[in-house]
Amino acid sequence: MGKRIGLEVSLSAAEAVKMANVDCIAAYPITPQTHIVEHLSELVNDGELDAEFIPVESEHSAMSVSAGASAVGARAFTCTSSQGLSLMNEIVHIVASMRLPVVMILANRSMSGPISIWNDHTDVMSIRDCGWIQVFANNGQEVFDHVLFGYKVAESQGVMLPLIINIDGFILTHVIEPIEFWEKEQVEQYLPDFEPIHTLHPDRPVTMGGVGMPYVFSEAKVAQDEPLKQSKSVIISAWKELGDIVGRYYSPIETYRSGDAETLFITQGSYGETVSLVVDELRDEGKSVGLVMDRLWRPFPFDEFREATGQTRNLIIIDRAISYGGQGGPLAIDIRSALYKEKNQPNITNFICGLAGRDVTIDDFKNIYHKAMQKVKKHPREEDFEYYGVRGK
Amino acid sequence: MTKTRQDLAWQELEIGATLITPGNSCEYKSGDWRSIRPVVDNKKCVRCGTCYIFCPDAAIHETEEGFFEADLYYCKGCGICANECPTQAIEMVEEEE
């Protein structure tokens, strides 16, 4: 077992990137991602990590450099938040279509405006459909583990897709948590060298990212989506292998006291830990409540959600992003679709909360629970979601 | 019979739609874009080669007799050759078929 130390989650994430022995780090600093990149620059400067650290002039360049590095066969890492993600948007899509296994940590922060540096999930949801594998971390240990998991999955021969690790800005990035490091031998056992299928090399000329005429574009898109869908089996086996090595077992969704629950909270990211405490307190009050935490966001774990929620009467879906003019938050929209054909459809209530870092406390989640119990009596329609705690609503 | 690119199923594409045969852009029939085609009147042509120089697609070549003609596989029918010809030897005519 590796040593367990108290460390800021951002610094431990950088240490995990070091353990993954990346070849190229191209990033531009943006709050709340900054500490990750700062620490990586120190590790490279101090000779602890033998990698190219490229301090690019923008996030568009950060992702472009990562694409180029990955295309020549280097293991590439980048990291950003909100507006930075927007600026790199063009290349984010292209990296997926070119099947380049770049790993990115996204320190989740609101999309402006109004200008905000604080945490919610509006940034990642803006690129939900970019074709990357996307996972959410609940805590610092999961961030550390998922950096190594990220390269393992992304670089698998049948996958070869980029991967985003979502970590809540400030709530995770800036807190000190006990982190269990991996032993070097454990990393070597888990993570093989990157073996690209095609590389840019003068001796073997290829064209990557060429034009796709209408007669081939749709086929190219299916050839991109199918391996993303099929990556789920690789993801599950990579989690199993990770568990066998370090003793922490992960799954596409994680449940807490959900088996017999009449009502389930559904969360993404660090709110899972808060709500697990809420579940305990509500259980103590005699309420039949449980929790389902979504860890794998893309490919969406349809089967796992159906299995976990199929026998439940009520779902309370917590979203931290908005589909303006739509049917609530992105998580609720997907889960509603996943359950549409089910015989025993649960009552679904959807709350959008915690935007731009507004605190959502245990008492708030209890309040949400009681509101949801009132709402389900009125048979809410899909567009009847609630912005929780908004004055004047 | 080998499949053309138009026939490939999604499973048959290289990963990331990578092109592994260098220089294959010459297979692309840009002549498909054409709606008008250059017709040269060799009686007016002074074999100066202006059309050859100006053709943006390098679709015009010199014949053995020293005249110039467009390769209709690539010629997009832009009409620059007709516009530049000092003796108005090139006429752009409608493609009717």
Gyration radius (Cα) of chain A, Å:
21
Q: How far is CA B39 from the centre of its chain?
A: 13
pLDDT at B1 over 60: no
**Given this model, what pLDDT does residue A97 score?**
98
**Given this model, what pLDDT does residue A2 score?**
81
CB contact under 8 A, A198 and B5: no
Average pLDDT (B46-71) is 96
For A248-305, the pLDDT digits (tens) are 999 999 999 999 999 999 999 999 999 999 999 999 999 999 999 999 999 999 999 9
Q: Which ranges constitute the DSSP H helices of chain A?
A: 9-19, 34-45, 59-71, 82-87, 89-97, 122-126, 140-154, 184-190, 214-246, 271-284, 302-309, 330-338, 362-375
Residues pairing with B91 in the sheet: B39
Higher pLDDT, A345 or A170: A170
Nearest to B10 among A99, A100, A219 (CB): A219
Average pLDDT (B53-74) is 96
Q: Which of B20, B22, B28, B30 is nearest to B4 (CA)?
A: B28
B11 contact residues in A (CB cutoff 8 A): 223
* Per-residue b or e along A122-141, where b marks 16 or more CB atoms closer than 10 Å to that residue's CB: bbbbbbbebbbbbbbbbbbb
Task: For residue B35, give how far its alpha carbon lies from the nearest alpha carbon of chain A (Å).
Answer: 20
Task: For residue B43, give how far its alpha carbon lies from the nearest alpha carbon of chain A (Å).
Answer: 41
pLDDT at B6 over 90: no
Quickly list DSSP for A144-197: HHHHHHHHHHHTSTTT---EEEEEETTTTTTSEEEEEPPPHHHHHHH-PPP--S
Burial of B70 (0-12, 13-18, 19+ CB in 10 A): buried
**Given this model, what pLDDT does residue B73 score?**
96
State the CATH class of domain A4-246: alpha beta
Tokens representing A137 are: 């971390």
Q: How far is CA A45 from CA A8, A54, A181, B7, in A?
A: 20, 12, 22, 52
**Given this model, what pLDDT does residue A379 score?**
81
State the CATH class of domain B29-94: alpha beta
**Distance between CA atoms of residues A352 and B88, nearest Å:** 71
Contacts of A346 (CB under 8 A, 6+ apart): A264, A309, A312, A313, A314, A315, A339
**Given this model, what pLDDT does residue A230 score?**
97
Task: For residue B52, give how far its alpha carbon lies from the nearest alpha carbon of chain A (Å).
Answer: 28
pLDDT at A127 over 70: yes
Q: Kindly report, as residue ranges, where domains of CATH 3.40.50.970 are found in chain A.
A: 4-246
For A73-94, the pLDDT digits (tens) are 999 999 999 999 999 999 999 9
CB contact under 8 A, A98 and B16: yes
**Given this model, what pLDDT does residue B55 score?**
97
B10 contact residues in A (CB cutoff 8 A): 218-220, 222-223, 226
**Given this model, what pLDDT does residue B4 score?**
75
Average pLDDT, chain B: 93
CB contact under 8 A, B16 and A97: yes
Q: Give me the amino acid identity at A252.
A: P
For A307-336, the pLDDT digits (tens) are 999 889 999 999 999 999 999 999 999 999
- 3-class secondary structure, A228: helix
pLDDT at A164 over 70: yes
Q: Kindly report, as residue ranges, where domains of CATH 3.40.50.920 are found in chain A.
A: 253-387
Burial of A338 (0-12, 13-18, 19+ CB in 10 A): middle
Residue B96 pLDDT class (50, 70, 90 cuts): confident
pLDDT at B5 over 80: no
**Given this model, what pLDDT does residue B2 score?**
61
Kind of pairing between the strands at A133-136 and A296-298: antiparallel
**Given this model, what pLDDT does residue B22 score?**
82
**Distance between CA atoms of residues A280 and A276, nearest Å:** 6
Query: Phi and psi at residue B68, in whole multiples of 5°?
Result: -125, 140
CATH assignment, A253-387: 3.40.50.920
A-B C-beta contacts closer than 8 Å: 54
Whether B26 contacts chain A with CB within 8 A: no
pLDDT at A240 over 60: yes
Write down the pTM of the prediction: 0.93
**Distance between CA atoms of residues B60 and A390, nearest Å:** 69
Q: How large is the angle between the packed helices A59-71 and A89-97, nearest 10 degrees?
A: 20
If one counts every other C-beta atom within 10 angstroms of the C-beta of residue A199, the result is: 15
Q: Are the C-beta atoms of residues A385 and A329 closer than 8 Å to each other?
A: yes
**Given this model, what pLDDT does residue A115 score?**
97
Average pLDDT (B4-17) is 91
Whether B13 contacts chain A with CB within 8 A: yes
For A11-22, the pLDDT digits (tens) are 999 999 999 999
pLDDT at A134 over 90: yes
Q: Which residue has the tokens 């990346």?
A: A22
Task: For residue B50, give how far its alpha carbon lies from the nearest alpha carbon of chain A (Å).
Answer: 32
Average pLDDT (B14-29) is 89
Q: Are the C-beta atoms of residues B29 and A239 closer than 8 Å to each other?
A: no
Average pLDDT, chain A: 96
Percent of chain A with pLDDT over 90: 94
**In chain A, whose CA is at the least distance from the CA of B11?**
A223
CB contact under 8 A, A215 and B11: no
Q: Are the C-beta atoms of residues A97 and A224 closer than 8 Å to each other?
A: yes
